[in-house]
Amino acid sequence: MLSLGPGSDSFLPFLLPYPSAHCPLLGLPGLLGSVLPPTAFSVLCFLLTLSEVGSQNSKACALPCPPNSSCVNGTACRCAPGFISFSGEIFTDPLESCDDINECGPPSPVDCGSSADCQNTEGGYYCTCSPGYEPVSGAMIFRNESENTCRDVDECSSGQHQCHNSTVCFNTVGSYTCHCREGWEPKHGLKNKQKDTICKEISFPAWTAPPGIKSRSLSAFFERVQKMSRDFKPAMAKKSMQDLVGSVDDLLKNSGDLESLDQSSKHVTVTHLLSGLEQILRTLAKAMPKGSFTYRSLDNTELSLVVQEQGKGNVTVGQSHARMLLDWAVAAAAEESGPTVVGILSSQNMKKLLANASLKLDSEKLKETYKSPVRGAKVTLLSAVSSVFLSNTNTEKLDSNVSFAFALHEQPELKPRQELICAFWKKDSNGNGSWATTGCWKMGRGNGSITCQCSHLSSFAILMAHYDVEDPKLALITKVGLALSLACLLLCILTFLLVRPIQGSRTTVHLHLCICLFVGSAIFLAGIENEGGEVGTRCRLVAVLLHYCFLAAFCWMSLEGVELYFLVVRVFQGQGLRKLWLCLIGYGVPLIIVGISAGAYSKGYGREKFCWLNFEGGFLWSFVGPVTFIVLGNAIIFVITVWKLTQKFSEINPDIKKLKKARVLTITAIAQLFVLGCTWVFGLLLFDPESWVLSYIFSILNCLQGFFLFVLYCLLNKKVREEYRKWACMVAGNKYSEFATTTSGSGSSHNQTQALRPSESGM
């Protein structure tokens, strides 16, 4: 057997590709091949070629040939097989060199066949199977596709993989990947389905109560959540989700002290619940087996989800409350290769915590629609609140829109300034939340449902919005009219203070009535509107002051009825109440009512749109109740007064002068009661306007209050007119002597009357 001796193996890559076409034994390979092995035959050809080169070199060769070449004749050299020069295989330039030909590279690479790689060598090449493949024939190297017997190596079954024990090996063509076990997820910073994947068991996310919210019901709920977290096992993911939905239903159904929380705290709580539910359900769904799952609780809360490998096209998730259509590419997380989760949770019980939630308006769009500024909106929830959760957590701006169909639980008849809108719950920087419509729009309505599209994801619902559209004409009438009323009330106050001939107990009543109306109207004009929608300290203070001023005005009006009773019914038995008692009753009674109201329910002061009494819980009766009592009491007094006047007029010798004066006072008091009473009957409608006509009536009556009192108690009073005439002459610089002479007699008679009957001096 031919042996090349030690170290000959290092020449094999060079000897094996030696072409038989250049062998001196050309024509004998078939004969010698039956005797010699292929390797020995190649070695023998190589040695004989070297001997030929030696014999040629022994001849005179004028051109010195570079390495990897041989002399052709006295002027040319030929590159050895597997090498080539710049001029080609044969060259005559002594400065040229023979460089290796890369048979594995372009322009004409060697075809080793599929699953194989070409390896270039010095002057030759060979083929080997690609990593992850092995030759069936056992020959590790070959030269062309016909000799290729490579096939895939199953690293998983053969134990050649390096997957961590927290993963499962999956063989692929030419390689393998390591997948997390069911109920496990990749560790932070690692990806699933990689060779270096390391996984950890899915755990129940941490979820605690929102800070600053004190509620026993909420604390008990989160204690149950903590118990679920401690007992959680990935194999129990389905049961854990059902228990979580049931616990949320119990919290919302038996809310207990949650109902007593202020509006802001309720909205912080619901924001915390919605975001926490999305996170936990997304995590637990990863531990679920692939497929679809729907659960409906006893309280009609529904959970629907789909778990599967990311697909192409659209996916639909539906239930009785809502249906959702979106692209799989939207649902999949950007850097995760595990199963994709798409889910939706719909609850009707969230309505309790979302009552009176504010709505962020698209003011410019609404102004264009209604041709007038929109100050706010009252919203009514018409569908279940549906929270969407996906594997993709970056859902603020989606690559493609998501379509929804929400079932309506009510079929409202829309009135003017009302609209059905697609809204979502938007969290702010303080953990609070409100309804918003940006990025969502209504597509259509039919078959008891509303179709919407959104460019982002959150918690959604269908709302009926009743817009508070500002009427520029009404606003102008109110502001100008109140300014006129304030001017008239100020003139009344100055008149009652400076005109001495009319001083008396009834003038005192009129003075303080005008003071209360003046202060109340000024506060009304300056601060009745609550800008921003949040009921703060300023708004509550304005509401308290308005409550007090207007109650005090009605109390002073009731005191006028009492004075009229003493004047007419008991005209010969006394002079009425003293000034001290008048002030104690006129200012003390409303102070007691407001103090009790504020102490019992301070949150009753202030509303989203107006700084006035809240309609909830019957708190408005702290104003309507006393006003109704006063109006009815005065009405009874006036009936008795008219009856007494009728009797006195029918007497044999009636005091006609006194009776006429009493009749005039009664008529003016009744007219005053009618104007003030009617104004506030319509005034209640301003804070919850349903009719533009009634709002206009209130504004006009409210603006005419001061003017009416000025006409009634000043311009129609002869003594006051005389004083006005006197003041006018003094301002004009004219002497008043002539006027004083003609009126001195009447003036002295009035002074005598005032001294004798102070209670009648105001007539």
Domains in the chain (CATH in brackets) are: 69-100 (2.10.25.10), 116-152 (2.10.25.10), 167-201 (2.10.25.10), 216-468 (2.60.220.50), 489-725 (1.20.1070.10)
| DSSP letter, residue 618 | G
List the one residue out of 682, 681, 638, 684 whose CA is nearest residue 662: 638
What is the rounded CA–CA span in Å between residue 434 and residue 357? 6
Pairing type for strands 99-100 and 116-121 reads: unpaired
Q: Which residues of 280-310 are buried (b: 16+ CB within 10 A; e: fewer)?
A: bbbbbbbbbeeeebebebeeebbbbbbbeeb
Query: How far does Cα 682 stand from its chain's mean position?
Result: 37
Q: What does the pLDDT look like over 236-280, one tens digit per residue?
A: 899 999 999 999 999 998 877 888 888 888 999 999 999 999 999
Q: What does the pLDDT look like over 545-595, one tens digit per residue?
A: 999 998 998 898 888 777 777 766 665 444 557 788 888 999 999 999 999
pLDDT band at 137 (very low <50, low <70, confident <90, very high): confident
pLDDT band at 27 (very low <50, low <70, confident <90, very high): very low
Rounded average pLDDT over 644-659: 58
Res 659 pLDDT > 60: no
Q: Which two tokens stand for residue 684?
A: 């209640």
Res 662 pLDDT > 70: no
What is the rounded CA–CA span in Å between residue 188 and residue 291? 26
Q: Which residue has the tokens 């009834």?
A: 506
Q: Which two tokens stand for residue 259?
A: 């109902």
Q: What does the pLDDT look like over 358-371, one tens digit per residue?
A: 888 776 777 666 66
**CB under 8 Å to 371, separation ≥6 — which residues?**
none
pLDDT band at 49 (very low <50, low <70, confident <90, very high): very low
Res 638 pLDDT > 60: yes
| DSSP letter, residue 633 | H
